Chains A and B, each alone.
Chain A
Amino acid sequence: MSKSSMRQRAPWSSRALVAGFILVLAPSAFAAPTVHLVPADDNALAIVTLIGRGLKDPVLLVDARDQATLSAAAAEWKGEVECYHRPAARRAVVDAMAAIADESCAAVADLAAAVHDLWPQPKTVVAVLEESYDWMLRGAAFAGATGAAILPLAPGVRFDAAALGAWTQVERVYLTAGVEVDPSVDPAKVRRLDTPTAVVDELKALVGEKLDQVVVVANAQDRLGTFSPSSLSLVAPLVSAMHKAPLILVSSAAGEVVEREVLAAIDTHALTASHIILVGDELALRSHRIPDPVLAAGGPEARGGGTIVRVELFSQIQNEQPQDFAVGRIVAEDAAQASALLARQQHRRNNRTQRPVVFLTNADSVFALGETISRATTRDLGNVGVSVRAYYRGEITPEIIRQTMLQTNVLVWEGHPRDLTLEERGGIAVDTAPEIAILQGCYTLDRSDPMILIEKGTEAIVATSAAIYSAPGSAFARALFDAVLYDDADLGIAVRNARNYLLALAQLQRLRGYNEWHKTFRAALAFALWGDPTLAIPLKTGKPSVKPVLWEASDDELTLSIPRQRMREVAVDNYVVKPVPRTMYGGLVVQMSDGKRRELKDMYYGVRRMSEAQKHVCLPDQSWGEVISLYAPRSRTLFVLARPEWEKYPDRKQHGTYRFRLGQDASICVGPTQPVGVGP
């Protein structure tokens, strides 16, 4: 009897066992979650549902205008869809919900009763006034992060013992600003949270070390406006709940105010925040508007006519300081679409199967230098076993773009921007979109694409708010993947490190007297992340085939090991590079002996957590040209960019171990290795 026939005749007992397992596991492991729909314009019901169900099941806030989008989103989970509304809900919204759910919606006549259903026996209750939007947001964020029930009170209603109803196990009742308490409530259970400070203090006391290293920021005024204000603050409490993070509501959209108030809160409460999630678009939380540095230096007007660069909040790069926090922005056109974005992130159904990273590079065949760097990056990814599919120049057709949208979790576009999602004559060309899109081109945040990608399922977009040149653009993408592959960075940290790489590169170029350093600096300013900065890029890596560059740190020095073996040469037009994995590039080139070809210069970039006493780096020896050290004090992170002058010492080996002395300032660099870095 052959093996296969033996398999076919597997004992009944085995088959029964397998079937039994499936039956046992099925309800829990494979059950599709129920999708819950509530009107987006019913703040109290929306907030209660988001906090009560949002961590366990997808909750979609419904705006009638988004019916088609939300129908598609609700169908992603392939489960039951239920909808609820209060009697005063607008007919159009109720009809839209019923159409999405394919059944009539349940009426919620009594919000308090619905809250009791959502939290059958809570130990903690947070009471808020329904008429106070700000306090509903704060209270909901607090409740979400601590697992408490949130109970909105109708105008004029005091919190009394009857409000507790069948809740017999309540140990603590938090009353937020404006809530009055009835003497029938046991005073020993009551604690007041009348100020934003009190909320964060209490959150810190309750969550303690579990408090994530995340701060969530929103502007409750984002509901005001004529042209469909995004109202994203409505979903901010869910973001807080997802991260067990404090929600900080700012008093103004102005970037300076946002930064001042958030940093004050972080410092006041001694929060160990490494990530900041901005929940709001440019109208709610305005980025810094910085004059285009190329134009300011007398350079040409940017293609596209931009005279300012929108620089993401909390980055400090405009002050030539490294970005310290990992920053991401939850953006959508309205709260309904934002709820779908968060539901996808929290209840991802598409199993993050390993699909190839797709690069679409240089579709217009005009960026040979950028393409060279991009090809080197795809080699690096392949070197650690990441599946990559790359298309260049004429290979990039509308059909390939459409296929790509279906076939990858991570899309990288490099080159002149195009509308990847749009039909030529109007209308949307795609039904789904990759989880993560890196749009490395000019003004890619300004186009329709980001909003459409988010609508179609993209969770994070890395893109630009200015014109960028191809070399720094591709260098940014390379640095971003370097952080993910070798430093295990999440998306926020990877974007931070990549922007800081460009800042260091701009400073290095300036040191070398390159007039065009402003172009690199503009690219450093222009990149930003739309999406949750704690998201990981779904890459599965293996052991490198060719050993990469290695940075190691001790108390008084950084050690850089450059292996002898290099990867295969990349040549595009006249540009050539033969990289050791992790070598960085950025448009610095040296003419080769044939007088025609140009080789990209090697640079090495390392990111390490260091103390204040180790924030300055010295050159290892005379064969190195420059070293730039940038130090981010809050995260205590040192960013080092070093450039060897191999071209000056052709006889010298281009591999080996190099030691970079560390110290607090320039005085530690003595002898022939003078510090030339620019740092704080």
Chain B
Amino acid sequence: MPYRARAIRLAVVALLAIVYGRAEVAARTDTQVWHVTVALRIGDGHGRPVEVHVALPPETPAQRVSDVRIVDRGLKTQTIQGEEPEVVLSGIVRKSRRVAVSYTVAISAEEKTVPLIEPPEDPPLELYTEMSPAPLFPSRSILVREFLEENVGPVLAEGNRGVMRAIYNVMRRRFEHKTDGKSLPLDVLRRGHGQRIGLERLFTTFLRCARIPARFIEGAKLDSRTKRKRVFWTEVWADGEWWPVSVSRGWIGKRSNDLLALTYDGRRPVQVEGEATVTYTLQAHRRRGEQ
């Protein structure tokens, strides 16, 4: 084989290797597969019936769940699908016991260009809840409305940057994150600082007051070293889809592939009905070589 021909072939192979290699790198950073385990310790239920609800991640375009497994140690288990999927563990607990719920989830990173978001003229009926007040989102409080009118109103009057961004910018400027701060929206509003959970709840509250559908997300930052890896952000509805925004961490439309959404609007990832106490940790590791 002439030297030139071999050189060309090698060059083509090298080029293909580079192209495919880059593509693989890009895909790896885009979607990450995680193996997640919720390890629960259910305390003494005094021989009475106990029901433990463990939230499973909802299926969204950004996260796909598969391979749900439950190590139940004698409890009755039920997996419920739907908008708020969950595993329900029920039975009588006389002694403390450990239970594990594990699943695989593929999370796609999102880096969206979020449009200018204004209150929708005619929002769909199914968004009623995401526009309504709730105990954790006091969107019909006079304090909330007053804050918007006095602080966000002038920003909007300067030029239209979209109501959502105006609220976001004012919150970034006016509210401080404090790890020992408060978590309830009105407490944060009165003090001007709060925990991340409080800031996101207040952001959701402001958006709902401005008649923009918004939902509060509790999730897990899967590469975190904390026990529960709790993380919070907000999703804002516009143009028929939900856009991720975090006022407490300062991003709009950019969600990394280690952020797992677990529940909406204050629902707890683990809920107990009955007298038993339940503690849990969330463990996660990347599935290498999988996309």
Contacts and interface: CB of A to CB of B under 8 A. Distances in A.
A668 interface: no
Nearest to A452: B140
A425 interface: yes
Contact of B182 (A226, A305, A419): A305
B152 interface: yes
A665 to B, nearest CB: 42
Label chain A's interface by main secondary structure: loop
Nearest to B137: A426
A426 B142 contact: no
B134 A305 contact: no
A427 B145 contact: no
25 contacts: A225-B153, A226-B149, A226-B152, A227-B145, A282-B142, A282-B146, A283-B145, A283-B150, A304-B186, A305-B188, A422-B133, A422-B134, A422-B135, A425-B129, A425-B134, A425-B265, A425-B266, A426-B130, A426-B134, A428-B133, A446-B138, A448-B138, A448-B140, A450-B142, A452-B140
Given A423-B134, A425-B265, A425-B267, A448 B149 contact: no
A239 B133 CA distance: 29
Interface size grouping (class) on chain A: 20 to 34
Contact of A426 (B132, B152, B210): B132
A305 B130 contact: no
A447 interface: yes
The 7 A-B residue pairs whose C-beta atoms are closest, nearest first, are: A426-B134, A448-B140, A226-B153, A448-B133, A305-B190, A305-B191, A426-B129
A255 to B, nearest CB: 14
Interface string A438-457: 00000101111011100000
Contact of A446 (B128, B139, B142, B267): B142
A306 interface: yes
Interface of B: 128-130, 132-135, 137-143, 145-146, 148-150, 152-153, 156-157, 182, 186-188, 190-191, 209-211, 265-267
Interface string A581-600: 00000000000000000000
Contacts of A283: 145-146, 149-150
A305 B140 contact: no
Nearest to B194: A305
A443 B184 CA distance: 13
A611 interface: no
B149 A225 contact: yes
A459 interface: no
A312 B186 CA distance: 20
Given A333-B145, A419-B138, A424-B134, 17 more contacts: A226-B157, A227-B145, A283-B145, A283-B149, A304-B190, A305-B187, A305-B188, A305-B191, A422-B133, A424-B266, A426-B134, A445-B142, A446-B142, A446-B143, A448-B141, A450-B142, A451-B142
A281 interface: yes
Interface string A411-441: 0000000110011111110000000000000
Nearest to B148: A227
Nearest to B131: A426
Contacts, number: 90
Contact of B187 (A229, A304, A331): A304
A428 B132 contact: yes
A447 B142 CA distance: 7
Best-surrounded residue of A228, A423, A424, A426 (most CB of chain B within 10 A): A426
B12 to A, nearest CB: 59
Contacts of A121: none
A473 to B, nearest CB: 18
Label chain B's interface by main secondary structure: helix
B227 to A, nearest CB: 26
A132 interface: no
A227 B149 contact: yes
B160 to A, nearest CB: 11
A433 to B, nearest CB: 14
Given A226-B157, A283-B146, A446-B143, A452 B133 contact: yes
B209 A227 contact: yes
Contacts of B152: 226-227
A443 B186 contact: yes
B136 to A, nearest CB: 9
A333 B141 CA distance: 10
Contacts of A425: 129, 134, 265-267
A146 interface: no
A452 B187 CA distance: 20
Contact of A227 (B132, B153, B265): B153
Interface in A297-313: 304-307
Nearest to A229: B149
A220 B157 CA distance: 20
A426 B146 contact: no
Contacts of A452: 133, 140
Contacts of B128: 427
B5 to A, nearest CB: 69
A451 B153 contact: no
Interface in A303-335: 304-307, 331, 333
A426 B265 contact: yes
B132 A427 contact: yes
A291 B210 CA distance: 29
B181 to A, nearest CB: 9
Nearest to A225: B149
A305 B184 CA distance: 11
A100 B156 CA distance: 34
A451 B140 contact: yes
A470 B142 CA distance: 24
A518 to B, nearest CB: 19
A447 B146 contact: no
A144 B135 CA distance: 41
A423 B132 CA distance: 10
Contacts of A418: 135
A422 B140 CA distance: 11
Nearest to B128: A427
Nearest to B121: A92
B147 to A, nearest CB: 9
A447 B138 contact: yes
Contacts of B211: 65, 228
A281 B153 contact: no
